[in-house]
Amino acid sequence: MPPGAPRSGERNGTEPVAEPCKTVDAAITRAFALLGKRWTGPIVAVLMEHPVHFADLHRAIPGISERMLSARLTELGAAGLVVREVAKGPPPRVSYRLTETGRALEPALKELAAWAERHLP
């Protein structure tokens, strides 16, 4: 492309050409509807290491309320990403772990973390 020539989709190098926008993909809409909610990413990231008790998970994510943590864990469970396990015995302890579906997010989360390190100071 010659220097100063308009790039594809631009006139005179400054104004975008009115071309129809691609409609957003249904899969990306579903993914962000679940994973784009506040606190969901940090919860999944903490659970990526190993199963975690509720109280430890609450301490691992500064700023999240117990009510919000419980709500997000319920949503993640309903979506098939997290499993709630209750250990018997006094006292009973509740822990959470990722399912195989939840663990499959690991490469995407690692890429997202690397992107944030490079582009979000």
| pLDDT tens-place string over residues 17-66 | 788 888 999 999 999 999 999 999 999 999 999 999 999 999 999 999 99
For the stretch 61-104, pLDDT in tens is 999 999 999 999 999 999 999 999 999 888 889 999 999 999 99
pTM (2 d.p.)? 0.79
Domain of 78, CATH number, reads 1.10.10.10
1 within a domain of the structure (yes/no): no
102 within a domain of the structure (yes/no): yes
87/92 Cα distance (integer angstroms): 5
Q: How many domains does the chain have?
A: 1
Q: How many residues does the chain have?
A: 121
What pLDDT, on a 0 to 100 scale, did the predictor assign at position 92?
87
94 within a domain of the structure (yes/no): yes
> Domain residues for 103?
38-119
